[in-house]
């Protein structure tokens, strides 16, 4: 695969598939079909199989084809984080946007990239530099990387064109699949932010340290995070993690963002929490509820927020998920259902695990068990697989019982009684924490330092 120029206007792909018979090619998105500039075998157009696929004949055990994909047109057509976005001389797009692959999900793909001087391609599959922190402007083309065709549906982000990248390492969680430290790459598209690269890198490293405190180390050993500059705005706006074919994250960040806005925001740590969870086809609320709940908990344990601040947020936010929890609607969508309904479930699960274990275990032990069983962001599971791993680690089946009670059976919940037992009493816009409440020790353990040493508040300039 090769870029036409350092600004990534066009991508040319030459493919060679080992095959004994015709190979069917399937675009994973309409954007890919719309912006294929050419698809040829031996200089001739490929036969259309139907409205969605093409067929490439095999000759002497090889099905060879070539195409060009118009990155410039795709970014102008779409402009979303799920399709293709242009930032100056950089295009950010998931793998499935521009990679035409065999329809057979089990096919293994081997990719090699070329770029003209001044340009590069970076994916979540690209190897990180082994040194702790290194700035790379227009990194050299990486060696060939591999992924499976069925990973394209959730394929990670790629940077194409002219950009900067920074690699750093942190200790990995003992439960993280693989070996060695966690290697994280920060990708910065072409237009600069008002903040320096060094300040942005410091924020990403400190945020990763907060996440590592919850997981007892980073939950994945290789990841790429892209900070996307939004013009004429400030603040952290949105984020997403994609785990197929290399674990990657996209964070939408205003170009005029100030340092204080970075450390007050929740989005980056929320997305990094997802690194330790598999994608659950039937448990979106479980994934998003965990990240919504664990992000403020992790920041409190790291010293970035006070316990009072976190419990005040929970006191305000958890009631938004109560109707979904008690009305059998957790399979739906929406912020109140998926995020706050899921977060309320995670609070109940954390409390139940701690009560059951006399406060020796917590929700982090459940999630680390899922991770230890191979359930990181690069994998797709069913909810029952995650519950089984959690129950094995915590004993007693507390989390599965909660799913049966509140997800399958719509059991009522006295949320006010839970707050009283935890010793969380509303006090204007804040809370008073009562230390002689029945579950006060559990409350203190949740927002205390049980997840590891404090990172410390972000004081340095």
What sign for the dihedral angle of Cα 59, 42, 17, 32? negative
CATH annotation of 2-276: 2.60.40.3650
The pLDDT, as a whole number, for residue 146 is: 74
CB 278 within 8 A of CB 370: yes
φ, ψ dihedrals at 386, nearest 5°: -65, -40
Residue 248's Cα: distance from chain center in Å?
6
pTM higher than the cut 0.95 = no
pLDDT at 140: 53
> Residue 451, Cα to own-chain centre: how many angstroms?
21
pLDDT of residue 49: 63
Both tokens of residue 215? 């997981």
How would you write the pLDDT of the chain (461 residues) with one tens digit per residue? 899 999 999 999 999 988 888 888 888 899 998 998 888 887 788 766 665 688 888 899 998 999 999 999 999 999 999 999 999 999 999 999 999 988 887 788 888 889 999 999 999 886 654 444 444 455 555 555 677 888 888 889 999 999 999 999 999 999 998 899 999 999 999 988 999 999 999 999 999 999 999 999 999 999 999 999 999 899 999 999 998 878 999 999 999 999 999 999 999 999 999 999 999 988 999 999 999 999 999 999 999 999 999 999 999 999 999 988 877 677 667 788 899 999 999 999 999 999 999 999 999 999 999 999 999 999 999 999 999 999 999 998 999 999 999 888 888 899 999 999 999 999 998 999 999 999 999 999 999 854 444 555 665 43
3-state SS of the chain is CEECCCCCCCEEEEEEEECCCCEEEECCCHHHHHCEEEEEECCEECEECCCCCEEECCECCEEEEEEEECHHHHHHHCCCCCCCEEECCEEEEEHHHHCCEECCCCCEEEECCECCCCCEEEECCCCCCCCCCEEEECCCCCCCEEEEHHHHHHECEEEEECEEEEEEEECECCCCCCCCCEEEEEEEECCCCCCCHHHHHHHHHHHHHHHHHHHCCECCCEEEEEEEEECCCCCEEEEEEECECCEEEEEEEECCCCHHHHHHCCHHHHHHHHHHCCEECCCHHHHHHHHHHHHHHHHHHCCCCCHHHHHHHHHHHHHHHHHHHHCCCCCCCCHHHHHHHHHHHHHHHHHHHHHHCCCCCCHHHHHHHHHHCCCCCCCEECHHHHHHHHHHHHCCCHHHHHHHHHHHCCCCCCHHHHHHHHCEEEECCEEEECCCCCCHHHHHHHHCCCCCCCCCCCCCC
From CA 294, how far away is CA 346, in angstroms rounded? 8
CA dist., res. 69 & res. 11, Å (int): 5
The token duo for 31 is 């954007």
| Pairwise CA distance, residues 157 & 100, whole Å | 15
Q: Where does the chain hold its CATH 2.60.40.3650 domain(s)?
A: 2-276
pLDDT value, residue 453 = 44
Which residues are within 8 A (CB) of 432 and not within 5 positions of it... i.e. 6 or more apart?
425
Alpha-carbon torsion (259, 263, 265, 269), positive or negative? positive
């Amino acid at each position: 695969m090769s870029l036409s120029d350092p600004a990534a206007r066009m991508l040319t792909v030459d493919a060679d598939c080992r095959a004994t018979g015709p190979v069917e090619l399937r675009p994973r998105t309409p954007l890919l079909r719309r912006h294929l500039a050419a698809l040829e075998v031996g200089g001739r157009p490929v036969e259309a199989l139907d409205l969605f696929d093409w067929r490439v004949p095999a000759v002497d055990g090889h099905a060879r084809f070539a195409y060009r994909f118009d990155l410039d047109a795709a970014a102008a057509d779409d402009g979303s984080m799920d399709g293709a976005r242009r930032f100056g001389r950089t295009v950010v797009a998931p793998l499935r946007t521009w990679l035409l692959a065999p329809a057979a999900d089990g096919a293994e793909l081997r990719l090699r990239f070329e770029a003209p001087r001044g340009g590069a391609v970076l994916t979540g599959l690209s190897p990180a530099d082994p040194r702790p922190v290194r700035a790379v402007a227009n990194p050299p083309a990486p060696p060939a990387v591999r992924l499976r065709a069925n990973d394209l549906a959730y394929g990670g982000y790629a940077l194409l064109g002219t950009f900067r990248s920074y690699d750093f390492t942190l200790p990995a969680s003992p439960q993280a699949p693989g070996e060695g430290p966690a290697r994280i790459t920060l990708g910065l598209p072409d237009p600069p932010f008002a903040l320096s690269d060094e300040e942005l890198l410091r924020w990403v490293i400190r945020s990763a340290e907060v996440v590592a405190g919850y997981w007892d180390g980073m939950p994945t050993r290789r990841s790429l995070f892209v900070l996307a500059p939004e013009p004429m705005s400030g603040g952290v706006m949105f984020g997403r993690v994609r785990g197929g074919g290399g674990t990657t994250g996209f964070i939408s960040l205003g170009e005029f963002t100030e340092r204080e806005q970075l450390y007050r925001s929740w989005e980056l740590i929320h997305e990094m929490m997802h690194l330790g969870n598999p994608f659950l086809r039937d448990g979106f609320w479980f994934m998003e509820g965990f990240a919504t709940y664990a992000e403020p908990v992790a920041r409190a344990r790291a010293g970035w927020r006070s316990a009072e601040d976190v419990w005040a947020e929970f006191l305000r936010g958890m009631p938004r998920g109560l109707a979904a929890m008690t009305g059998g609607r957790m399979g739906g969508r929406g912020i109140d259902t998926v995020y706050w309904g899921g977060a309320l479930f995670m609070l109940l699960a954390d409390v139940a695990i701690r009560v059951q274990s006399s406060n020796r275990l917590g929700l982090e032990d459940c999630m680390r068990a899922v991770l230890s069983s191979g359930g990181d962001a690069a994998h797709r599971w069913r909810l029952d697989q995650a519950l089984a791993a959690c129950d094995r680690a915590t004993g007693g089946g507390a989390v599965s019982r909660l799913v049966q009670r509140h997800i399958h059976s719509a059991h009522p919940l006295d949320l006010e009684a839970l707050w009283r037992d935890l010793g969380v009493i509303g006090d204007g816009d804040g809370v008073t924490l009562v230390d002689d409440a029945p579950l006060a020790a559990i409350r203190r353990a949740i927002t205390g330092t049980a997840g590891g040493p404090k990172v410390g508040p972000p004081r340095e300039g």
